[in-house]
Structure 1
């Protein structure tokens, strides 16, 4: 099954490309989820900020995710690595779940490999999206 193209705004796309080519990302080695993110960026639908659909997870979005196995609901803010603090709910885009949700929409189920198998989470709600807030300001 072919994966759908993720949607990113131009600024996030450029900043993420720079991040993946940085010494910081290179320190992680060739992790499968980073290869996946590189592939997603290469094929992403890149749009102007005002053209980002209001239900797409972008950088600095606050998102509610449901674990499809335990049905637990978690809330995270998707951030760049230098802002990450999982205890405060700030999830790095370079974490496996962070790379999995970037650019996907409310209702999508994202999957990624974990040591115990495949983890599946549904994007339940987009509590906050910076692009949406910019349009209403």
Structure 2
């Protein structure tokens, strides 16, 4: 993990992610170092209520446009829990390395993160949809 910045997460997202760590689904990922990275991120996170999260922060169920700084290509993903993930439909699991990487970051932030084939760099270009900004209940 090469993230240095403290991320911002909602208290609801943090609680649900902590429950995920002890679920049978997460057991399949226990040998993945990035799961520990997510745990560390959450331990150090700036935790806020749903009404306090800035509109430019990537939260769970946010749809975000990110730019690969190497290829200069942009992709749009919705950050979801593993049971809702379908990368073909643009639904990126929070347990995927890139999912962990973007959680809690803000528009304009550049993220460096270890991925299976090295290290990647992405920039959060914009948030198309954020449930908290839209007033959608958790």
The alignment partner of 1:82 has SS state of helix
SS of the residue corresponding to residue 55 of structure 2 reads: coil
Q: In terms of mean alpha carbon deviation, does 37-46 or 113-122 score higher?
A: 113-122
Query: Runs in 1 of length 4+ with deviation above 4 angstroms?
Result: none
Structure 2, unaligned runs of 5 or more:
none
Partner of 1:95: 96
Distance 1:18 1:37 in 2: 13
Q: Which residue of 2 aligns with 1:10?
A: 11
With normalisation by structure 1, the TM-score equals 0.93
Shift of 1:115: 3.6
C-alpha separation in 1, matches of 2:17 and 2:79: 13
Q: 1:29 is matched with which residue?
A: 30
Shift of 1:71: 0.2
Unpaired stretches in structure 1, ≥5 consecutive residues:
none
Cα distance in structure 2, aligned partners of 1:63 and 1:2: 18
Shift of the alpha carbon at 1:2? 7.7
| Aligned equivalents of 2:106, 2:30: Cα separation in 1 | 29
Q: Give the corresponding residue for 1:134.
A: 135
Q: Distance in 1 between matches of 2:122 and 2:89?
A: 20
Q: CA shift at 1:30, angstroms?
A: 2.6
Q: Which TM-score applies when normalising by structure 2?
A: 0.93
- Number of matched pairs: 135
Question: After superposition, what is the alpha-carbon deviation per residue over 1:33-77, rounded to whole angstroms, capped at 9, x for unaligned?
Answer: 111000011111111100001100000000000000010010000
Matched, 1:47 2:54: no
